[in-house]
Amino acid sequence: MSQLKRFTISLEKTLIKQFDDYIRRQNYPTRSKAVGELIQKALLEKEWTTARDIAGVMVLVYNHHKRDLVNRLTDIQHQFYQLIISSQHIHLDHNNCLEMIAVRGHYRLIKNLIEILHSVKGIKYLDFSPAISQ
Ligand code: NI
């Protein structure tokens, strides 16, 4: 197990309150655990934005009754066919679909794909987890 080291940070009261609310909502047991995960996430993000090629997985949840949205997502995926390794579609329930899209390629293209997906109305959830970088 890695050694723990204690350090002190100073923040504005309102930011601490917002952070504590966030910790409670996310069910973190301690501030240390939450800060540690946020630091790790920031470092990984920094790494993948500077790495030339990365791989990772996008997760989307959307309502499949919105046909325009389904068609738009298909068009976008065809536009980025060279980036997308595979995708898996899961019918979550009567209304919702979950799609996992595995990607590998230049981080700028992946960022571009994420930005385009952010602009699509009707996506209920969108997340990207970078897995490896070269
Ligand atoms: Ni479905």
User: What is the per-residue pLDDT across 103-122, written as a single tens digit (0 to 9) for each?
Assistant: 999 988 998 999 999 888 88
CA of 69 to the centre of ligand 1 (A): 12
CA of 92 to the centre of ligand 1 (A): 7
Where exactly are the structural domains of the chain?
Answer: 13-49, 51-133
8 A C-beta contact, residue 54 and residue 130: yes
The identity of residue 46, as a single letter, is K
The class of domain 51-133 in CATH terms is alpha beta
In Å, what is the CA distance from 6 to each residue of 3, 32, 84, 123? 10, 9, 42, 41
CA of 26 to the centre of ligand 1 (A): 28
Residue-level pLDDT at 134: 55
CA of 109 to the centre of ligand 1 (A): 26
CA of 2 to the centre of ligand 1 (A): 43
- Where helices occur in the chain by DSSP H, the ranges are 13-26, 31-50, 67-79, 107-118
pLDDT greater than 60 at residue 20: yes
Tracing tokens 């504590």 back to the chain, one arrives at: 20
